[in-house]
Amino acid sequence: MLAKIHITLKKDVLDPQGKVIANSLSNLGFEGIQSVRQGKYIEIMLDGNDKNTATNKLNEMCEKLLANLVIEDYSVEID
Amino acid sequence: MLAKIHITLKKDVLDPQGKVIANSLSNLGFEGIQSVRQGKYIEIMLDGNDKNTATNKLNEMCEKLLANLVIEDYSVEID
């Protein structure tokens, strides 16, 4: 089972890395960029076929290790 | 227009960061993890409404700045 996890900074948290990307793109001549936010994308291959169990396990992984819930949101999706 | 970009390591490229995550999850007691791969996720807010133009522009951004095509793949998706 392939799980896809997105971890993004919460809306109100400043994203300096995103700002740097936006500035670099502007410097390269790209126009019309309003904002850039950078997050993490994690793919986890899991044993088993039960999506509910897996989703619960993945949420727990995000809360315990993968995401910093003070400043980050996460979403879990299973293929 | 919100563009979502995923940048992942090519399949044959070692992902030490993913390995560390997999080990840490095992140490925390999570079982059944076959593999973990970590990538980047970038959200770009763009002016305009033309999806084709935007997709071309985003592909160019990935090739020029965001992705290292020697070791990374990218995918672009527009909401």
- Cβ-defined contact of B35 to A25 (cutoff 8 Å): no
The total number of structural domains in chain B stands at: 1
- Cβ-defined contact of B61 to A25 (cutoff 8 Å): yes
Segment A4-39, tens digit of pLDDT: 999 999 999 999 999 999 999 999 999 999 999 999
Pick B6's closest partner by Cβ from A35, A37, A41: A41
Dihedral of alpha carbons A44, A38, B6, B73, sign: negative
Inter-chain contacts counted by CB atoms under 8 A, chains A and B: 92
Identity at A41, one-letter amino acid code: Y
ipTM of the complex: 0.93
Distance from the first to the final alpha carbon of chain A:
7
Closest residue in A to B48 (Cα–Cα): A32
**H helix or E strand, kind and range, residue A7:** strand A2-9
- B-chain residues near A66 (CB < 8 A): 21
Task: Find the CATH number of the domain harbouring B65.
Answer: 3.30.1280.10
d(CA A48, CA B68): 34
Q: What is the pLDDT of residue A79?
A: 86
Name the residue range of residue B32's domain. Answer: 2-78
